[in-house]
Structure 1
Amino acid sequence: MAEAQLCGLQDEFTCSECLGTLTDPVTIPCGHSFCLKCLTDCWDQSQECSCPQCRHTFTTRPELNRNTLLNEVIKKLKKTTLSSPPAPPSQNYACPGDVECDFCTGKKFRAVKSCLTCMASYCQIHLQPHYEGDALKHHKLVDPDRNLKEKLCEKHQKSLEIFCKTDDLCICMMCVVTGHKNHEMVELETEREDKEKQLGATLSDIKRGLEEREKTLKETRRTMEEMKVRGELSKRGEPNQK
């Protein structure tokens, strides 16, 4: 029973840096765990010490000590895995056509959400800080989007949040104060909903027009058939039948 539970928790013991099972696991003050080597390499290559998963920054570099309890649990997990039938290939890796996680290193996981505030895409593992941290939980998450750069203002590199009706243009908050003062503006989402309503009304008008044309065409064909029949009857000298 315990072994089965460990197998089910295998993803919980995955290092978000190498995406493999934790080796010599270390847990840092923010609560996240990594392979000792992965975290050491990450910090050695950076000018600041921050958690690769939640981005929490430490003023001084924390001392890294192996999490003995977690290491023992992982040993049991590996032993159970070796004695169990081979698991099917992971379904989380990004395939051609998928949106990749921007924070995975090496072989990338499939993104499950894109953040319009961070302008980045996240796999399930790297998305967790958006649900757990107060600083990120108000960010706007959408389905994975590979065209996030198109949603950035070319001038200020900020997300496009406002629609300027005066200039018929999507703009960022910096544009509002620098070049669109006193213009008529609405939130981008509001404008999108209005455009969808207008498009729906236009499509309904087109559909009614097509139905009217189809009706007129059928009546024209019926009239032409009647005229053809009458013409043939006249040639035969037979009285026309109404």
Structure 2
Amino acid sequence: MSATSCLLSQDQFLCSICLDVFTSPVTLPCGHNFCKSCITQDWKINRKCKCPVCKKIFEVITELHVNTFISEMAAQFKEAAGKEASQIAQPGEVLCGVCTRARLKASKSCLVCLSSYCESHLQRHREVAGLKKHRLTEPLDNLEDRVCSTHNELMELYCRTDQVCVCHCCSETDHQSHDIVLLSEESSERRSQLGDMKAELQLMVHERELRIEELRRSERLSGEAAGKAVAAGSQVFSALIQFVESGLKRLTEQIRQKQETAAGQAESLIQELTQEISELMNRREEVEQLSRSDDHLRLLQSVSPLKASLPTKNCRDVSLHQLSYEGTVARAVAQLKDTLSQEAEELLRAELKRVQQYAVDVTLDPKTAHPKLILSEDRKEVTHSNTVGNLPDGPQRFSFCVVVLAQQSFSSGRSYYEVEVKGKTKWDLGVISESANRRGQVTSCPGAGYWILQLRNGNEYVALADPDVLLSVKSQPQRVGVFVDYEEGLVSFYNVDSADIIYSFTGCCFTENLRPFFSPCFNDDGHNSAPLRISAIHKT
């Protein structure tokens, strides 16, 4: 009995009680079969001999005999089913291309039929004369990709010249003079390369894991810095709110005291006038009585004293000075403004101090200097001369603009340096991209890789932001601080003396190195002869 036939008739070998293959099967008089233990247990529970299928009741059956034929058939079925189960394809194994129900694993692959067969379906290749000539190999998947489409042969060779898999016929024809090796040999070499690739991939994974840790650390530090900034801002603005509330309290108290003084004066005058009214009413009563008296002597004697006792003060002269509160609020606001200005100045100096911690040492690069610029020996100072120096020309040197760059460049992080501009009426300062144009007339704007602040005519400060921004500066700086935050895309210019921010380029997208930029401009017949000097950082 074949495994396939067993699978097709498996219902015939199942006990209807336990639904499993018969164990010691017995046949009832009605013709139905059951496991001996199953039917015995069923009758014991129901206390009657009854067929579970047709419900026919029998007289007491004292002994049940095992049906040897069905028992042998069930045993063969179990054996065939177990054998077939062992042939079921596991993940990764090649499947038989003919099996339609249970996909058995293939025993061989045919290079002519381009299909794989299990032991059962392989029988025809072993019995039919025409199929016996077919070439069988160990099971292979994707046979269509493994067989040469031209010669219908298995591709067992590799052409290193054309880097393709070929069969033996191909190696003797189209690839005759090429470097041909066995697939196994090439595979072994590629496997070695895969080992190196695996190590390289592992290194790349490790580098990215380290990068993730660095990013998380940066994020954590950024969060801590943000928290500190919020705390500092809360402290500052809480102090400002206290200043405002204190100013309002003082103003309210001053107005209240002034009003209370005026109210006291008014009350005193009112009491005085009330007393006079009382006295005048008494005199009026006396005058009334005296006018009705017939005693001429008493009348004459009383008129003069009564007249003399009348108040001499004119009540029209009694008045309260109307208080004025004009300017009270303005004076309080002015005082508060002075206080806030002092506080703001302290905050600005604190901010500048934080920026100055990123100070870097900057020196001038003579290879970039315009021929009319003179650099000091320490390369910290630059001045303009009317005489052209005998210098070799090169792509790094500015040919038209009187500019020199720093030797150093910035490609990440934060950097800060200061430049002394005392005594100058013109200058340009800032940073430029490494690849920004230096030849001929240059366009100074962020789009061209220039982030520049300039002074013109002694008091006109302009940010070359395209369009240019004319700036309002409280006081002329003697030293200018330049701060660059590469990742933040920020270039800020500080008045070091007042700690004010003159201007900031924000939202910049830096993709290459940045070089500090210095232009003392023309000396204007001595009116602008003072040098630009990179100064040491004296923290405010």
Please give the range of the TM-score, normalised by the shorter of the 2 chains.
Answer: 0.3 to 0.5
Normalised to the residue count of structure 2, the TM-score between the two structures is 0.24
Based on CA coordinates, which of the two structures has the bigger radius of gyration? 2
Name the one with the larger strand percent: 2
